Structure 1
Amino acid sequence: MRGPGHQTGASGPAATARAVLITGGGTGIGAAVAERFAADGARVAVAGRRPGPLKEVAASVGGIAVELDAADANSVRDGLAAVLTEFGRLDVLVANAGGHGFASVTETDDAAWDAALRANLTTAFTTARECLPSLIETRGQIVVISSLAGLRAGPSVAGYTVGKHALIGLTRTLARDYGKHGVRVNALCPGWVTTPMADAEMDEFAQHAGLDGREAAYAAVTADVPLGRPARPSEIAAIVSFLGSAESSYMTGAVLVADGGAHIVDLPTLAFGHAGM
């Protein structure tokens, strides 16, 4: 599947531009990352399992849509082959696919556990493994999208939390093993971001908590965040762009947090803040 406005093949003036593959590229953070890299002059491949959103994003950024299952090695190989045929190289992998695992341990059966780890960890592991030979050739970058849930634990999100924590370990082991080949690997942990997935969570939370709609829910969950608001997808995409560029040339194995300051808050002192002290 190809979007309009791109050059076919690896020849021509555009052939020297960076080539970027983004998993989970059809919506939310992935779509914003595609827009940012395209604005930076890169050639962009958006990958995922839903062809409709992928085609829309690819068309909007003049890139290509690659339908694949990021946790399936054969599917990733086929998708990567399409990217290499189109662009002739791969410079940046953004491992953004994720989801599932929103229940406590006792409420998570074997199938749900497997699904959570597959969605949140295996997708990044498999895609990185299959893309590494191409990234070694270009001395490229991998940006792993984890979450604040990769550093902290929320209520009843066992599979998601464990998967996102494991992505930090994956980032570090990739950085350790492949830095000698010139491949840099860094992770980004966003907090609340106004994506379709978060919007759905806010709608559910608002109904459960008796709040007046989505905006009230976002306000409630960021009330104790120093910046007092969720991030826009474009703000997260700007950091991903930095990590996937020469501007971060001496960074590898790093874990950056973009959560409006949520991770610095000392929970036992919240009562003092609420009291105006």
Structure 2
Amino acid sequence: MDTDLKDKTVLITGGGSGIGAAAAHYLAEQGAKVAIVGRRQKQLEAVAESCGAFYTMADMADSQQAADAIARIINHFGHLDRLVANAGGHGFSRVDETDDTAWQQSLNGNLNSAFVTARAALPQLLQQRGSIVVISSLAGLFAGPDVAGYTVTKHALIGLTKSMARDYGEYGVRVNAICPGWVCTPMADEEMMQLASRRGWGADIAAGYREVTKNLPLARPAQPEEIAAVISFLLSAQASYITGTTLVVDGGAHIVDLPTLSFSSRF
């Protein structure tokens, strides 16, 4: 795919695993200059070594750390053209089971990291007429059980996307969100392990994925590379008139009418 991303500097938060790591590899293959940021050095080192990315460690919910990380990236590459706000993964409990510390962790991990990173990156993105992709979730549109912090913050990311698209579109900066459904990532693997254990399937992760996707039209989870391809498209000039949108990438989960599942011919 010719995405015009050759020699564009792309910052990916949460780039050490899952969707972030897949995006790093995919964009590097497109010729982009990839910078990954996260808090787990060994994971970042492994991704950087495998795809040639530049990595730096930082908590991107912290204003000073975010500013310093972006300064290091600009010092290394000379400019910053694109941002993938991907970091996240906190808030897996009900409201009455979520204490102040856990609530703050979900805010920092999912929402503040995107907000603070975007704020720090915007001077460069405005100068370069760049683009931002925010990774929300199907949980940004719907609510699953026992994930209050995750659901609230993923919803808020869509609001952040719309706000930035509205404010900076006149300066040539596009901002879009992606809402993935189930994706085969380490975080999802842990959830499948828990589901399999509860159902008496031992450590059969594949059985967990089959269970949670059995009612999807495509009846399977996504691979991280499939989400990376969508990220690449939205960052590229091929999406030059797309901004403020929320693109759902969920195998069709959002179109399923739950009360009609009993009529499915699949079962």
Worse-matched range after superposition: 237-246 or 105-114:
105-114
Paired position in structure 2 for 1:250: 241
| 1:64 equivalent in alignment to 2:54 | yes
CA distance, structure 1, for counterparts of residue 149 and residue 104 of structure 2: 9
What are structure 2's unaligned runs of at least 5 residues?
1-5
CA distance, structure 2, for counterparts of residue 122 and residue 182 of structure 1: 24
- CA deviation after TM superposition for structure 1 residue 55, in Å: 1.0
SS of equivalent residue, structure 1 residue 99: coil
Paired position in structure 1 for 2:27: 37
CA distance, structure 2, for counterparts of residue 53 and residue 275 of structure 1: 40
- CA deviation after TM superposition for structure 1 residue 94, in Å: 0.2
Question: For the structure 1 residues 275 and 89, does the alpha-carbon distance in structure 2 shift closer, same or farther, using more than 3 Å as the test?
Answer: closer
* Structure 2 residue identity aligned to 1:186: N
- Out of 129, 133, 139, the position equivalent to 2:129 is 139
- CA deviation after TM superposition for structure 1 residue 275, in Å: 7.6
Question: For the structure 1 residues 275 and 236, does the alpha-carbon distance in structure 2 shift closer, same or farther, using more than 3 Å as the test?
Answer: closer
What are structure 1's unaligned runs of at least 5 residues?
1-15
- CA deviation after TM superposition for structure 1 residue 274, in Å: 5.8
CA distance, structure 2, for counterparts of residue 243 and residue 68 of structure 1: 25
- CA deviation after TM superposition for structure 1 residue 83, in Å: 0.6
- CA deviation after TM superposition for structure 1 residue 210, in Å: 1.5
Paired position in structure 2 for 1:81: 71
Paired position in structure 1 for 2:179: 189
Percentage identity across aligned positions?
A: 59
TM-score normalised by the chain length of structure 1: 0.92
CA distance, structure 1, for counterparts of residue 158 and residue 124 of structure 2: 22
TM-score normalised by the chain length of structure 2: 0.96
RMSD: 1.1
SS of equivalent residue, structure 1 residue 197: helix
- Out of 7, 27, 45, the position equivalent to 1:55 is 45
Q: Which runs of 4 or more aligned residues in structure 1 lie more than 6 Å from their structure 2 counterparts after TM superposition?
A: none
| Cα-to-partner distance string for 1:232-259 (whole Å, 9 max, x where unaligned) | 0000000000011111000000100000
CA distance, structure 1, for counterparts of residue 243 and residue 195 of structure 2: 37
Aligned residues: 261
CA distance, structure 2, for counterparts of residue 62 and residue 156 of structure 1: 39
SS of equivalent residue, structure 2 residue 264: helix
| Cα-to-partner distance string for 1:59-113 (whole Å, 9 max, x where unaligned) | 1111211101010010011100111011111111000000110001111111111
CA distance, structure 2, for counterparts of residue 97 and residue 162 of structure 1: 15
CA distance, structure 1, for counterparts of residue 166 and residue 150 of structure 2: 25
* Structure 2 residue identity aligned to 1:167: L
